[in-house]
Amino acid sequence: MGRTWEFLTATRGKGRLHWTDWASYGYLCAGVFLMFFPVVWLVLSSFKTEADLQRFPPTFLPYQQQTLSVDGYDDPLPLFEMVSGDYEGMILAQVRRVGLQAQMVDPTNPGERLRVSIDEYERVESVTLAWENYTGLFDRFNFLLYFWNSTFITVTATLIMLLTNSMAAFALSKYQFRGRTFVLLLVIGTLMIPQTVVLVPLFLIVSEMGMSNSLWGVIIPGAATPTGVFLLRQYMLTIPDEILDAARMDKASEWKIYWRIMVPLSAPAIAVLAILAIMWRWNDFLWPLIVLTQSENFTLQLALNSFQGELRTDWSSLLAMTVLTLLPIAVVFTFLQKYIATGIASTGGK
Amino acid sequence: MRGDGIGLTLISPIMRVIEIPMLGLQRLLGVNRLAWVFLVPNLLLFGLFAFLPIILNFFYATTGGDNVLLDDRPYVGARNFLNLVDCSNYLDPNSCREDKFWRAIWNTVWFVTLQVGIMVGFSLLTAIILNRDIKARGFFRSVFFFPVLLSPVVVALIWKWILQREGVLNAFLDWTGIGGVNWLVDAEWAFAWSVFLSVWAHMGFYTLILLAGLQAIPRDVYEAATMDRASPWRVFRRITLPLLAPTMLVVLILALIKGVQTFDEVYAFTGGGPGTATTFIIQYIYEEGFAGAPRIWGMAAAASILVAIVLVILTLIQLWVNRNNVDG
Task: Give A127's strand partners.
Answer: A63
Chain A interface disruption, residue of B42, B80, B233, B253, most A CBs within 10 A = B42
8 Å CB contact of B59 and A2? no
DSSP code string of A42-103: HHHHTTS-HHHHH-SSPPSS-EEE-EE--TT-SSPEEEEEE-SSTTTT-EEEEEEEETTEEE
Q: How far does Cα A104 stand from its chain's mean position? A: 46
CA distance A77 to chain B (A): 29
A196 interface with B at CB cutoff 8 Å: yes
Cα angle B284-A189-B296, degrees, rounded to a multiple of 5? 25
Q: Give the separation between CA B153 and CA B290, rounded to whole angstroms.
A: 19
- Give tens-digit pLDDT for A86-144: 777 778 888 788 878 888 888 777 777 778 887 778 877 777 787 888 888 888 778 89
**Stretch B113-131: mean pLDDT, rounded?**
94
Q: How many CB pairs under 8 A join A and B?
A: 306
8 Å CB contact of A199 and B319? no
CB environment B128-138: b (16+ within 10 A), e (fewer): bbbbbebeeee
8 Å CB contact of B49 and A1? no
| Percent of chain B with pLDDT strictly greater than 70 | 96
**Residue B143: closest CA among A274, A45, A341:** A341
Cα angle B47-B49-B53, degrees, rounded to a multiple of 5? 90
> Which residues fall within 8 angstroms of residue A146, CB to CB, at 6 or more apart?
A298, A299, A300, A302, A303
List C-alpha distances in Å: B192 to B53, B112, B115, B204: 35, 12, 10, 19
**pLDDT averaged over 10-residue windows placed end to end, chain A, 350 residues:** 56 62 90 93 88 79 79 80 78 80 80 78 79 82 90 93 93 88 84 85 90 91 85 89 89 88 89 87 92 90 84 77 88 74 60
For residue B238, the 8-state DSSP code is: I
Looking at chain A, how many residues does it have? 350
The pLDDT of residue B322 is above 80 = no
Q: Give the separation between CA A237 and CA B224, rounded to whole angstroms.
A: 37
> What is the per-residue pLDDT for A312?
59
A8 interface with B at CB cutoff 8 Å: yes
As a whole number of Å, the CA-based R_g of chain A is 30
A15 interface with B at CB cutoff 8 Å: no
CB environment B225-263: b (16+ within 10 A), e (fewer): beeeebebbebbeebbeeebeebbbbbbbbbbbbbbbbb
Closest residue, chain A, to B150 (C-alpha): A326
- Give tens-digit pLDDT for B15-49: 888 888 888 888 888 888 888 889 999 999 988 99
CA distance A327 to chain B (A): 10
A221 interface with B at CB cutoff 8 Å: yes
| Contact of A48 with B168, CB cutoff 8 Å | no
| Contact of B290 with A213, CB cutoff 8 Å | no
Closest residue, chain A, to B31 (C-alpha): A254
- Give tens-digit pLDDT for B240-252: 888 898 889 889 9
Write the residue in A38, A263, A301 that is nearest to B158 by C-beta.
A38
> What is the per-residue pLDDT for A13?
47
8 Å CB contact of B34 and A175? yes
Write the residue in B42, B45, B159 that is nearest to A38 by C-beta.
B159
DSSP code string of B79-105: HHHHHHT-BS-TT-GGGBTTHHHHHHH
A249 interface with B at CB cutoff 8 Å: no
8 Å CB contact of B35 and A322? no
List chain B residues with CB under 8 Å of A279: 149
Query: Alpha helices of B30-94 — where are they, by DSSP H?
Result: 34-46, 52-61, 79-84
CA distance A236 to chain B (A): 14
List C-alpha distances in Å: A269 to A60, A347, B216: 43, 11, 22
The pLDDT of residue B60 is above 50 = yes
A56 interface with B at CB cutoff 8 Å: yes
List chain A residues with CB under 8 Å of B123: none
Q: How confident is the model at residue B3 (pLDDT cuts 50, 70, 90)?
A: very low
8 Å CB contact of A290 and B286? yes
> What is the per-residue pLDDT for B328?
35
Phi and psi for A115 in degrees, rounded to 5? -110, 120
- Give tens-digit pLDDT for B285-304: 999 888 877 788 888 899 99
**Stretch B68-96: mean pLDDT, rounded?**
81
Write the residue in B15, B41, B130 that is nearest to A259 by C-beta.
B15
- In terms of DSSP bridges, do strands A77-82 and A67-68 run parallel, antiparallel, or are they unpaired? antiparallel
A271 interface with B at CB cutoff 8 Å: no
8 Å CB contact of A171 and B35? yes
- Give tens-digit pLDDT for A249-266: 888 888 989 998 899 999
List C-alpha distances in Å: B80 to A31, B37, B54, B105, B282: 47, 41, 17, 16, 17
8 Å CB contact of A325 and B148? no
Cα dihedral B155, B158, B161, B167, rounded to 10, equals -120
A188 interface with B at CB cutoff 8 Å: yes
Element at A123 (helix H, strand E): strand A121-123
List chain B residues with CB under 8 Å of A15: none
For residue A178, the 8-state DSSP code is: T
> What is the per-residue pLDDT for A190?
80
Closest residue, chain B, to A288 (C-alpha): B264
| Contact of A341 with B304, CB cutoff 8 Å | no
8 Å CB contact of B32 and A305? no
> What is the per-residue pLDDT for A4?
59
CA distance A138 to chain B (A): 19
> Which residues fall within 8 angstroms of residue B17, CB to CB, at 6 or more apart?
none
Q: Give the separation between CA A158 and CA A278, rounded to whole angstroms.
A: 6
> What is the per-residue pLDDT for A162?
93
Q: How far does Cα B143 stand from its chain's mean position? A: 21
Say if residue B175 is exposed, middle or buried (CB neighbours under 10 Å; 0-12, 13-18, 19+).
exposed
- Mean pLDDT, chain B, rounded, equals 86
**Residue A187: closest CA among B45, B253, B321, B250:** B45
8 Å CB contact of B144 and A31? yes
> What is the per-residue pLDDT for A147?
92
Q: How confident is the model at residue B2 (pLDDT cuts 50, 70, 90)?
A: very low
8 Å CB contact of A201 and B308? no
8 Å CB contact of B34 and A186? no
Chain A interface disruption, residue of B139, B143, B149, B323, most A CBs within 10 A = B149
List chain B residues with CB under 8 Å of A180: 35
List C-alpha distances in Å: A325 to A147, A159, B9, B274: 8, 21, 31, 27
List C-alpha distances in Å: B33 to A254, B47, B264: 11, 20, 43
- Give tens-digit pLDDT for A85-100: 777 777 888 878 887 8
- Give tens-digit pLDDT for B205-247: 999 889 988 988 888 888 888 888 878 788 888 888 888 988 8
In 10 A of CB B1, how many CB atoms? Answer: 9
A89 interface with B at CB cutoff 8 Å: no
Helix A267-283 vs helix A143-174: crossing angle, to nearest 10: 140
Query: Alpha helices of chain A — where are they, by DSSP H?
Result: 2-9, 19-45, 50-54, 132-140, 143-174, 180-192, 199-208, 216-222, 226-237, 241-249, 254-256, 263-265, 267-283, 286-291, 300-310, 315-347
A95 interface with B at CB cutoff 8 Å: no
- Mean pLDDT, chain A, rounded, equals 83
| Contact of B104 with B280, CB cutoff 8 Å | yes
8 Å CB contact of B125 and A8? yes
CA distance B138 to chain A (A): 10
CA distance A249 to chain B (A): 13
**Residue A328: closest CA among A133, A160, A147:** A147
A311 interface with B at CB cutoff 8 Å: no
8 Å CB contact of A164 and B250? no
Helix A226-237 vs helix A315-347: crossing angle, to nearest 10: 40
CA distance B47 to chain A (A): 9
